[in-house]
């Protein structure tokens, strides 16, 4: 890397003056050891910043043995980067002085801006306008600063107590407080960074800008982010989809609490929280989501050191049975597959392992395993074409020093192109000795963490393999008619006839239906449809019909129908819902009850849902979400992604569901949600998914329309 002038081949990037300055002014530097203004200057000095440092403070002659200047204008040399830590009300003036001096980059540490209310927000807007008008980039305000661990630069312009080691991860944190913790965890795990940025209020430079900065940076192999909110989800999508094709982006997104209350009378609305939306959104951008900072670094270490796996099949090599079983369980639970080792691999393992060893997967070499056994077994497993990646477990070494084991498997792994992760149940001294050895396989304390890493590696590899930029398919639909129905209806729930009509116009198959104003009309409708039929009550404000006995299935003749109608009318009137009409439907049989839904998120726009349906949706919550626009591959992922997908494929002789049809309906609904944003919520529950198109139909639906 280095400064732009030293590397003529590299295209200068807008953030270079911030990351690779040749000189820095620290405005608001302080002699008080307990102040941020001292800590930051101290970090620059002790980390041996490669350029010149100019403290600025009108009340000091020298700070930290450096000559001090009364104002930035008094500095005789050129200043590339200004770090500003003066009281809030002085920031605007100082920024203007810096621009007059010709600085090329700004970091504003000072807090008290938009995070404190309208007055601060106004100051922050003015700051942004000033720097944007000058074409100079600014990090902050209200941030912890920036680190560039590049040995050519050695910039630590933060007040954090922990320095960063040089490595291959670019890390951006939205929270300054967490930034300190992030640097600590990185230090503990021996993880190295290229750059670290605490963004603060993101008045100018945003997470998106940083992703773009690292996009083509050869030293940054993994981009890691700690986020509290998405500033601009649409731009993030565009950038992330492009950049994840080149290098992985890992995100820890906090805020598992709701970002805003939503009216949730639909199943879809009730299940969709902010969090599932965020996960769906990140998935569709190819971004990996970690639950904790520690997990993020676990994955980042593997991504930085290992090749990507060709699939989801894992081979496990261990010297103890118990951890092998734990590893197997963890892998299978996550959706990884245990590789079926070939006869040739088994024979090869048999040829050198003791008789008591097990040569299936997991390969249990038993406690007598030597370093050589490890090397040969890992080689045999990796060379099996059925294996995409290997987890190597080593427990309580009797015959082998764990460092020797790790080096031996590292040597085997380096000659091959499959990821190898090590689980070493060893002492902390061992971990300290190996944690920064980047040529060795990444090491984990427990099989569960290694399995989770393998899963995310496989997911990312699958993302890289899939075709890029598939267009969302378009269906030929009569949108003018849909719009007319929505316009006529005004706000609130559409009535059943309007609801079914919208679905028909969008090509969603429905169970045959008729509306009837009374019992006689119901009988006529049933004769037309053909017995057996289903009778439902239609009443204002009646949303969950079965709760009040407003659904009667399998009525086999006119007498049964008449009786059901009388009783139903009495029941729902008693429950406070005056009957408006009866809905008579064909009695549908066979197939699986699934749910399709649309809900809208204030930030992310229309959201699609699919899952196992019926009365117990909220109990099982076996659903997946997707943000729009949705391409065919993404729609298939949503359907394949539910836990109960095996049911839809058909189990125990039961026929499966027409998966292509389900995919198509999801895509049609995505188009509906995008073309008719007034649709705030839609539930089709249940949709009866049979083995073919003819047998599939929606049995119940509701649509809520907003202004």
List 614, 644, 656, 691, residue binding ligand ADP (CB under 6 A): 614
What letters, b where the CB count within 10 A reaches 16 and e where it falls short, cover 401-428?
A: ebbebbbbbbebbeeeebbbbbbbbbee
Per-residue binder mask for ligand ADP (CB under 6 A), 511-530, x = binder: x-------------------
By the rule CB under 6 A, 553 interacts with ligand ADP: yes
Answer yes or no: are the C-beta atoms of 422 and 394 closer than 8 Å.
yes
Stretch that binds ligand ADP, among 219-227, 279-287, 559-567, 586-594 (CB under 6 A): 586-594
Interaction of residue 158 with ligand ADP, rule CB under 6 A: no
Residue ranges in 67-220 assigned as alpha helix (H): 88-101, 118-134, 176-189, 207-215
Paired tokens of 481: 């008619």
Interface with Mg ion, residue 204, by CB under 5 A? no
Select the binding partner of residue 244 from ligand ADP, Mg ion, none (C-beta < 5 to 8 A, by kind).
none
Give the contact letters, 652-691, x = binds to Mg ion (CB under 5 A), - = no: ---------------------------------x------
Rule CB under 6 A: say whether 546 interacts with ligand ADP.
yes
Using CA atoms of 111, 117, 119, 120 in order, give the dihedral in degrees to the nearest 10.
20
What is the phi-psi region of residue 81: left when phi exceeds 0, alpha when psi lies from -120 to 50, beta otherwise? Answer: beta
Cα gap 528→514, rounded to integer Å? 9
Out of 125, 132, 234, 615, the only residue in the binding site for ligand ADP (CB under 6 A) is 615
As a dihedral over the C-alpha atoms of residue 657, residue 659, residue 662, residue 664, rounded to 10 degrees, the angle is -150
585 touching ligand ADP, by CB under 6 A: yes
CA distance 36 to 145: 11
- Using CB under 5 A, count the residues that bind Mg ion: 2
- Site map (CB under 6 A) of ligand ADP, residues 468-507, x = contact: ----------------------------------------
Q: Which of 104, 320, 522, 588 binds ligand ADP (CB under 6 A)?
A: 588
Task: Please choose, out of 154-162, 191-199, 587-595, 694-702, the segment that lies near Mg ion by the rule CB under 5 A.
Answer: 694-702
Burial of 151 (0-12, 13-18, 19+ CB in 10 A): exposed
Query: Contact, 625 vs 618, CB < 8 A?
Result: no
551 binds ligand ADP (CB under 6 A): yes
| By CB under 6 A, residue 231 contacts ligand ADP | no
Q: CB under 6 A: which stretch of 274-282, 458-466, 478-486, 538-546 binds ligand ADP?
A: 538-546
User: What's the closest the beta carbon of residue 635 comes to Mg ion, in angstroms?
Assistant: 22
The size of the chain, in residues, is 707
List 373, 459, 536, 577, residue binding ligand ADP (CB under 6 A): 536
Instruction: Give me the least distance between CB of 556 and ligand ADP, in Å please.
Output: 13
What is the closest distance, in whole angstroms, from the C-beta atom of residue 685 to Mg ion in the complex? Answer: 4
Kindly report the backbone phi and psi dihedral angles of residue 195, in degrees, each rounded to the nearest multiple of 5, phi listed first.
-130, 155
Which among Mg ion, ligand ADP, none contacts residue 139 (Cβ within 5 to 8 A by kind)? none
- List the single partner that 51 binds among Mg ion, ligand ADP, none, CB under 5 to 8 Å by kind: none
Among Mg ion, ligand ADP, none, the one that 534 touches (CB under a kind-dependent 5 to 8 A) is ligand ADP
| Separation between Cα atoms, residue 441 and residue 527, nearest integer Å | 72
In the three-class reduction of DSSP (H, G, I as helix; E, B as strand; rest coil), residue 38 is classed as helix
Residues ≥6 apart with Cβ < 8 Å to 188:
none
Q: Are 393 and 364 in contact (CB under 8 A)?
A: no
**Chain residues that interact with ligand ADP, rule: CB under 6 A:** 511, 534, 536, 544-546, 551, 553, 585, 587-588, 593, 614-615, 685-686, 699-700
Residues that bind Mg ion (CB under 5 A): 685, 700
């Amino acid at each position: 890397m280095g400064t732009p002038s030293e590397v003529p081949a590299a295209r200068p990037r807008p953030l270079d003056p911030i990351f690779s300055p040749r000189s820095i002014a620290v405005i608001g530097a302080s002699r008080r050891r307990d102040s941020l203004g001292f800590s930051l200057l101290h970090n620059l000095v002790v980390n041996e910043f490669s350029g010149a440092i100019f403290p600025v403070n009108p009340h000091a002659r020298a700070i930290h043995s450096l000559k001090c200047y009364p104002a930035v204008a008094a500095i005789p040399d050129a200043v590339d980067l200004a770090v500003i830590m003066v009281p809030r009300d002085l920031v605007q003036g100082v920024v203007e002085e810096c621009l007059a001096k010709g600085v090329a980059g700004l970091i504003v540490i000072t807090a008290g801006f938009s995070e404190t209310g309208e007055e601060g927000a106004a100051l922050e807007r003015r700051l942004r306008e000033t720097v944007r008008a000058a074409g100079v980039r600014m990090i902050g305000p209200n941030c912890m600063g920036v680190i560039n661990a590049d040995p050519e630069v050695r910039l630590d312009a933060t007040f954090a107590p922990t320095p960063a080691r040089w490595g291959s991860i670019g890390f951006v944190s939205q929270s300054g407080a967490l930034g300190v913790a992030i640097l600590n965890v990185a230090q503990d795990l021996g993880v190295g960074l290229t750059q670290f940025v605490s963004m603060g209020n993101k008045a100018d430079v945003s997470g998106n800008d940083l992703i773009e900065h690292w996009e083509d940076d050869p030293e940054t192999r993994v981009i890691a982010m700690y986020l509290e909110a998405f500033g601009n989800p649409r731009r993030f999508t565009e950038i992330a989809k492009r950049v994840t094709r080149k290098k992985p982006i890992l995100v820890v997104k906090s805020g598992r609490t709701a970002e805003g209350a939503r009216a949730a009378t639909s199943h879809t609305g009730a299940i969709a929280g902010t969090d599932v939306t965020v996960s769906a959104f990140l998935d569709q951008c190819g971004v990996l989501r970690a639950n904790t900072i520690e997990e993020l670094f676990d994955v980042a270490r593997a991504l930085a050191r290992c090749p990507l796996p060709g699939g989801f099949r894992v081979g496990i090599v261990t010297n103890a049975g118990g951890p092998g079983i734990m590893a197997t369980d963890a892998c299978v639970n996550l959706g990884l597959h245990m590789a079926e080792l070939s006869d040739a691999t088994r024979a090869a393992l048999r040829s050198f392992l003791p008789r008591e060893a097990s040569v299936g997967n997991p390969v249990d070499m038993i406690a007598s395993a030597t370093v050589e056994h490890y090397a040969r077994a890992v080689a045999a497993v990796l060379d099996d074409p059925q294996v995409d990646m290997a987890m190597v477990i080593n427990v309580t070494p009797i015959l082998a020093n764990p460092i020797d084991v790790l080096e031996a498997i590292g040597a085997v792994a380096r000659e091959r192109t499959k990821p190898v992760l090590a689980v070493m149940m060893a002492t902390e001294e061992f971990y300290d000795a190996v944690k920064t050895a980047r040529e060795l396989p990444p090491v984990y304390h427990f099989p569960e963490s290694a399995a989770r890493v393998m899963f995310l590696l496989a997911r990312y590899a699958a993302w890289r393999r899939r075709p890029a930029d598939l267009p969302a398919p378009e269906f030929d639909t009569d949108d003018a008619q849909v719009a007319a129905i929505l316009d006529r209806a005004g706000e609130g729930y559409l009535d059943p006839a309007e609801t079914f009509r919208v679905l028909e116009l969008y090509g969603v198959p429905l169970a045959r239906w008729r509306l009837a104003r009374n019992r006689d009309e119901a009988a006529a409708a049933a004769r037309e449809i053909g017995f057996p039929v289903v009778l439902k009550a239609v009443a204002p404000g009646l949303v969950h019909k079965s709760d009040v006995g407003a659904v009667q299935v399998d009525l086999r003749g006119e007498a049964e129908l008449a009786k059901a109608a009388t009783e139903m009318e009495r029941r729902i009137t008693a429950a406070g819902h005056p009957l408006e009409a009866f809905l008579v439907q064909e009695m549908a049989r066979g197939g699986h009850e699934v749910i399709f839904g649309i809900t809208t998120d204030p930030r992310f726009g229309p959201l699609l849902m699919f899952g196992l349906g019926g009365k117990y949706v909220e109990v099982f919550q076996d659903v997946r979400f997707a943000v729009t626009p949705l391409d065919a591959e993404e729609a298939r992922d949503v359907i394949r992604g539910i836990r109960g997908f095996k049911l839809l494929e058909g189990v125990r002789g039961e026929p499966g569901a027409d998966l292509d049809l389900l995919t198509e309906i999801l895509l049609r609904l995505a188009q509906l949600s995008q073309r008719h944003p007034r649709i705030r919520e839609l539930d089709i529950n249940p949709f009866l998914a049979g083995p073919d198109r003819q047998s599939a139909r929606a049995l119940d639906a509701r649509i809520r329309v907003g202004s």
